[in-house]
Amino acid sequence: MQNIFRNLPSVNQLLESEPLKKLVDSVNHTVVADGVRNFLDDFRQQVTDKAGEINIPTPQEMADSIADFLKAEEVPYLRKVINGTGIILHTGLGRAPLAKQAIAAVSEISQGYASVEIDLNSGGRGQRAKAVERLLCELTGAEAAVIVNNNAAATMLTLSAMAGGKEVIVSRGQLIEIGGSYRLPDVMECSGSKLREVGTTNKTHPADYENAINENTGALLKVHPSNFEVVGFTKTVSTKEMAAIAHKHGLPLIDDVGSGALIDYSQFGLMDEPIVQDSLNEGADIALFSGDKLIGGPQCGIIVGKSKWIKTILANPLMRAMRVDKMTLAALHATLLLYRDQETVMTQVPILRMLSMPVANLKMRADKVAAQIASSSAVEACEVVQERSMLGGGSLPTQKIPTWCVSISAYGSIDSLTEKLRKCEPAIMGRVQKDRLILDMRTVDVSEDLHLVEAFATIS
């Protein structure tokens, strides 16, 4: 045993080895030296505990395993992913990628100080979101706007401010659950408003709302059933009809639009996505939506509508708990500016660029990528197939957009291939369909095609 200890390489010897020298340069000397000492301590302990049974690694093997261990620790939790799933707003992958203008704005604003609550014209105190709120009013036709953390926060804050302690009437066909942790009845309960369900799952009539109104009613709430569809014998009450009923009784109508389309998505073949401007035009007093769904901006929740109600919302104590930071404001402002020009927005907002990408273009890229990855030693066969992309992000799963994909069968199991791809840098995610890995070119940025090819060249 003494012999083994005497023959162990020294800390300095290991630090001079190729893999660890590289890590000292890229990480830092103290971290790597500590890693080496810990490894040697552990190793001595193992030898003491079970001398004779242990295989003595060469100094090179030791250096390699220390380097592997330290590298595994170094990998940040959030890693860049190439999205080959074909789901455009993939909640697991962070929903909308930001426009380069938004990224530049975040970078500039966060590097130093910014006029977050200072009015640079007067030198006095300013409101943190004023410029963005003005832009939201310009784009949606609203009188006023508020920005909070996400649409769940927008819903909770709005209900608390406008109908806390009162009843809010909702159709049974609109009591939605989105992505597991968002359930409307639970959000309502947290807001301190009382859910008053009316109608049935498939049919709700104007009279159902009328009959439920009483002296305890605080508001009527309409919710876009983003991620499901009721077909067959159905009846819903339109925004116009609901607004008329609410206003007749002096009550406000709150409309949770969900994805927050500022333009018409039917041009991409996606029907049924309500447009924020329409909701306000049809009489909603307040409309709520997400910033990182169909707008293609940062995660946030947007509340637009009548000044009177926005004032009430701003005065609610929850407002301070849900307000956004300067980076979100900068990113949202830069994204919304792109909406001032119909053509700019299509090419500059990544999700709109993906949605408007012509299929012929996708086929060409799929052909090229398939030809190049076919020679990978991990790939048994590879072909180009016509498929359908999905919008995702809690939007209707039945609405799909034609696309072209690379379809791969692997030597060995498909699970082992997907695992290797997840460990690539950047990580690559696709979808598995009948033992084949499908990579949808619509959600892969053109600039990432080369990374795909390179990743397949390195795995085996």
Ligand X SMILES: *Cc1c(COP(=O)(O)O)cnc(C)c1O
Q: Among the candidate windows 106-114, 115-123, 253-261, 380-388, which touches ligand X by CB under 6 A?
A: 253-261
Instruction: Among 152, 161, 276, 287, indicate the residue that binds ligand X (CB under 6 A).
Output: 152
* DSSP class of 10: P
- 10 Å Cβ neighbour count for 257? 28
The nearer residue to ligand X, 389 or 395, going by C-beta atoms, is 395
Q: Among the candidate windows 34-42, 118-126, 219-227, 239-247, which touches ligand X by CB under 6 A?
A: 219-227
Instruction: State in angstroms the smallest separation of the CB of 393 from ligand X.
Output: 7
Query: Which parts of 84-113 interact with ligand X (CB under 6 A)?
Result: none
Instruction: Among 171, 191, 290, 407, indicate the residue that binds ligand X (CB under 6 A).
Output: 290
Sign of the four-CA dihedral 280, 286, 288, 291: positive
Q: What are phi and psi of 125, to 5 degrees?
A: -75, 135
Q: Is 298 in the site for ligand X (CB under 6 A)?
A: no
Which amino acid, 13? Q
How far is residue 66's CA from residue 35's CA, in Å, rounded to a whole number?
7
The nearer residue to ligand X, 66 or 322, going by C-beta atoms, is 322
Instruction: State in angstroms the smallest separation of the CB of 391 from ligand X.
Output: 11
Q: Is 258 in the site for ligand X (CB under 6 A)?
A: yes
The nearer residue to ligand X, 325 or 445, going by C-beta atoms, is 325
Which amino acid, 249? H
The nearer residue to ligand X, 286 or 378, going by C-beta atoms, is 286
Tokens of residue 443, six digits: 């959600």
* DSSP class of 261: B
Give the per-residue contact string, 299-328, with ligand X (x = CB under 6 A; - = no). Answer: --x---------------------------
Query: Which parts of 159-198 interact with ligand X (CB under 6 A)?
Result: 178, 182
Q: Is 236 in the site for ligand X (CB under 6 A)?
A: no
- The answer to whether residues 131 and 145 touch, using CB atoms and an 8 Å cutoff, is no
The nearer residue to ligand X, 204 or 376, going by C-beta atoms, is 204
* DSSP class of 9: P
Instruction: Among 133, 255, 256, 285, indicate the residue that binds ligand X (CB under 6 A).
Output: 256
Tokens of residue 278, six digits: 């329409």
How far is residue 316's CA from residue 60's CA, in Å, rounded to a whole number?
63
Size of the site for ligand X (CB under 6 A): 14
Tokens of residue 170, six digits: 């909702």
The nearer residue to ligand X, 167 or 256, going by C-beta atoms, is 256
Instruction: Among 17, 140, 193, 226, indicate the residue that binds ligand X (CB under 6 A).
Output: 226
Q: Among the candidate windows 5-13, 150-158, 191-199, 213-221, which touches ligand X by CB under 6 A?
A: 150-158
- 10 Å Cβ neighbour count for 211? 11
- The answer to whether residues 218 and 168 touch, using CB atoms and an 8 Å cutoff, is yes
Instruction: State in angstroms the smallest separation of the CB of 344 from ligand X.
Output: 25
Give the per-residue contact string, 393-422, with ligand X (x = CB under 6 A; - = no). Answer: -x----------------------------
How far is residue 414's CA from residue 435's CA, in Å, rounded to a whole number?
6
Q: Among the candidate windows 147-155, 266-274, 351-359, 411-419, which touches ligand X by CB under 6 A?
A: 147-155
- The answer to whether residues 21 and 71 touch, using CB atoms and an 8 Å cutoff, is no
Q: Is 224 in the site for ligand X (CB under 6 A)?
A: yes
The nearer residue to ligand X, 288 or 373, going by C-beta atoms, is 288
The nearer residue to ligand X, 238 or 458, going by C-beta atoms, is 238
Instruction: State in angstroms the smallest separation of the CB of 185 from ligand X.
Output: 13
Which amino acid, 406? V
- The answer to whether residues 293 and 88 touch, using CB atoms and an 8 Å cutoff, is no
Q: What is the DSSP string of 84-99?
A: -S-EEE-GGGTSSPPP
Peptide bond into 426 cis (omega under 30): yes
Helix (H, G, I), strand (E, B) or coil at 65: helix
The nearer residue to ligand X, 35 or 258, going by C-beta atoms, is 258
How far is residue 256's CA from residue 20's CA, in Å, rounded to a whole number?
55
Radius of gyration of the chain (CA): 28
Query: Which parts of 21-80 interact with ligand X (CB under 6 A)?
Result: none
- The answer to whether residues 366 and 405 touch, using CB atoms and an 8 Å cutoff, is yes
Instruction: State in angstroms the smallest separation of the CB of 200 from ligand X.
Output: 20
The nearer residue to ligand X, 182 or 268, going by C-beta atoms, is 182
Instruction: Among 204, 259, 335, 403, indicate the residue that binds ligand X (CB under 6 A).
Output: 259
Instruction: Among 17, 83, 150, 160, indicate the residue that binds ligand X (CB under 6 A).
Output: 150
The nearer residue to ligand X, 191 or 376, going by C-beta atoms, is 191
Tokens of residue 447, six digits: 């600039």
Instruction: State in angstroms the smallest separation of the CB of 70 from ligand X.
Output: 37
Please name which of 348, 347, 451, 351 lies closest in space to residue 401, comparing C-alpha atoms.
351
Name the strand (E) or helix (H) holding 29.
helix 29-49
Q: Could you give the strand order of the β-sheet that contains 436-440, starting from the edge strand earlier in sequence?
A: 87-89, 379-392, 400-410, 436-440, 431-433
Instruction: State in angstroms the smallest separation of the CB of 88 from ligand X.
Output: 14
Give the binding site for ligand X (CB under 6 A): 150-152, 178, 182, 223-224, 226, 256, 258-259, 290, 301, 394
